[in-house]
């Protein structure tokens, strides 16, 4: 499959009437309130860019077969996962370690159900991707927060606090968000080592959600948690996907990497109780798409990263110059930028009112990610620059009025 460089991240694509969660007026009204169905959406984490054409071509090829019966986990998809992580992350994943899942959020729920009991606790590092807390609470487990702290304008893990939290024998699982959504950190190897050692030495299983591991800003490098040591590999479950990187989230295909036989067996048994293949289940087209993206999507990704980076620079400069005091944290990974509006001295409700009512923009509000996110806002910058400009200029105007 030859690669023709046919992508244009500046192209504006109408996503209305595609039941896009990000753009659907009903969803916007349900989330932000009546009358807010037409907000310009810079919230839900998908991209307003077309996936690489190689992905469409691979799906069309499979589509033309016209039989879409039961399928098995696809070894060609697994090969693509193995090769991608070897090439890009120097991680030698072995085929039996890979289990499929229709998403990392569903996997988070199964994992909580399988590796803890009702009443047990799961640790998260707030502010953090809010479905973690929803999954923990929804399954009747307790949420234990190990809040991140800000040191010299950069988020860090609080290891002293972590040591204390994991001493609680009720804590069975710790969720590592790496890179971290929403604060945009790409954790360094020594941070991951300290985190992993503290958790594992206290018998806490690590769930390393690495869905954003291929969205790394220029000059930085993501370290896959399980590559750090044998001990880490044996006492953790890692999750990754092509879905964020190549904009395939609606196809529901992600991978769980479980090197330890016992842990993997637990998961397989669990899959059986769900009535699905013990090696997990993604989707027919999800695995076709992920395979094509991993095998042929690198040139597209190589252009995407600098585009996102320039979007980030634009956002940071415009917001910080236009609204003195507002701080946009450096984006190391993900396409989700995190900004602190608290220095403006306005109550968080007023900040939200100005962004939604004043500027007509939908953002993820900071307190969704934990109490320590109040007054912060998360911008999804994976959109054409002209859309980002419209949103950011409207926000600056709304505050300056």
Ligand X SMILES: Cc1ncc(COP(=O)(O)O)c(C=O)c1O
Binding site for ligand X (CB under 6 A): 45, 103-105, 129, 177, 181, 209, 211, 241, 243, 249, 254
At residue 116, the 3 state secondary structure works out as coil
CA pair distance 58, 53, nearest whole angstrom: 9
Task: Write down the least CB distance from residue 322 to ligand X, Å.
Answer: 27
> Of 146 and 181, which CB lies nearer to ligand X in the complex structure?
181
**How far apart are CB 318 and ligand X at their closest, in Å?**
24
Compute CA distances 159 → 148, 174, 394, whole Å: 9, 13, 40
Beta strands in 86-216 (DSSP E): 98-101, 121-124, 142-145, 149-151, 154-156, 171-177, 205-209
Shortest Å distance, C-beta 209 to ligand X: 5
Question: Minimal distance in Å, beta carbon 249 to ligand X?
Answer: 5
The residue whose Cβ lies closest to ligand X is 103
183-209 burial string, b = 16+ CB within 10 Å, else e?
Answer: bbbbbeeebbbbbbebbbebebbbbbb
Nearer to ligand X, 199 or 323 (CB): 199
| Nearest-angstrom CA–CA distance, 323 and 41 | 21
Minimum Å gap between C-beta 250 and ligand X is 9
Q: What share of the chain is helix, strand, coil (3-state, %, to 5)?
A: 45, 15, 40
CB of 157 to ligand X, least distance (A): 16
Backbone angles phi, psi at 142, to 5 degrees: -90, 145
CA-closest candidate to residue 286, choices 62, 86, 98, 38: 62
For ligand X, the closer CB: 105 or 387: 105
Least Å distance, CB 332 to ligand X, is 14
Kindly report the backbone phi and psi dihedral angles of residue 175, in degrees, each rounded to the nearest multiple of 5, phi listed first.
-100, 120
Q: CA-CA distance, 167 to 312, in Å (whole number)? A: 39
- Which CB, 340 or 364, lies closer to ligand X? 364
For ligand X, which is the closer residue by CB, 356 or 364?
Answer: 364
Q: How far is the CB of 395 from ligand X (least distance, A)?
A: 22
Separation of alpha carbons 394 and 401, rounded Å: 11
Radius of gyration of the CA atoms of the chain, in A: 21
Q: Report the distance separating Cα 398 and Cα 383, nearest Å.
A: 21
What the block records as the tokens of 393 is 């200029």
Q: Between 211 and 326, name the residue whose CB sits nearer to ligand X.
A: 211
Task: Name which of 196 and 286 has its Cβ closer to ligand X.
Answer: 286
Q: Which is nearer to ligand X, 115 or 129 (CB)?
A: 129
């Amino acid at each position: 499959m030859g690669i023709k460089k046919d992508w244009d991240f500046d192209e504006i694509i109408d996503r209305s009437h595609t039941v896009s969660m990000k753009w659907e007026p009903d969803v916007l009204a349900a989330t932000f309130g009546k009358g807010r169905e037409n907000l310009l959406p810079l919230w839900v984490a998908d991209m307003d860019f077309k996936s690489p054409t190689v992905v469409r071509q691979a799906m069309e090829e499979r589509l033309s077969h016209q039989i879409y019966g039961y399928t098995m986990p696809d070894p060609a998809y697994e090969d693509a996962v193995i090769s991608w992580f070897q090439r890009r992350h120097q991680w030698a994943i072995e085929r039996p370690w890979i289990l499929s899942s229709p998403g990392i959020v569903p996997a988070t729920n199964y994992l909580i159900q399988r590796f803890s009991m009702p009443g047990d606790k799961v640790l998260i590092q707030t502010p953090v991707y809010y479905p973690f807390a929803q999954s923990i609470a929804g399954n009747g487990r307790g949420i234990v927060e190990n809040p991140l702290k800000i040191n010299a304008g950069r988020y860090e893990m609080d290891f002293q606090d972590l040591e204390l939290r994991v001493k609680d024998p009720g804590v069975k699982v710790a969720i590592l968000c790496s890179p971290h959504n929403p604060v945009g950190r790409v954790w360094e190897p020594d941070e991951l080592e300290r985190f992993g050692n503290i958790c594992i030495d206290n018998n806490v299983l690590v769930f390393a959600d690495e869905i954003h591991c291929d969205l790394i800003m220029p000059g930085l490098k993501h370290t896959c948690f399980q590559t750090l040591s044998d001990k880490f590999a044996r006492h953790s479950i890692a999750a990754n996907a092509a879905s964020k990187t190549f904009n395939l989230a609606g196809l529901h295909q992600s991978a769980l990497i479980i090197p330890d036989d016992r842990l993997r067996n637990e998961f397989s048994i669990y899959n059986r109780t769900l009535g699905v293949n013990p090696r997990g289940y993604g989707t027919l087209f999800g695995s076709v798409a992920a395979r094509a993206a991993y095998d042929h999507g690198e040139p597209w990704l190589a252009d995407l990263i600098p585009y996102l980076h320039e979007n980030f620079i634009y956002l940071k400069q415009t917001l910080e110059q236009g609204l003195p005091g507002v701080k946009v944290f450096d984006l190391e990974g993900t396409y989700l930028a995190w900004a602190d509006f608290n220095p403006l001295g306005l109550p968080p409700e007023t900040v939200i009112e100005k962004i939604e009512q004043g500027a007509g923009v939908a953002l993820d509000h900071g307190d969704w990610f934990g109490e320590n996110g109040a007054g912060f806002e998360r911008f999804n910058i994976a959109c054409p620059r002209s859309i980002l400009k419209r949103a950011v200029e409207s926000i600056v105007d709304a505050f300056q009025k």
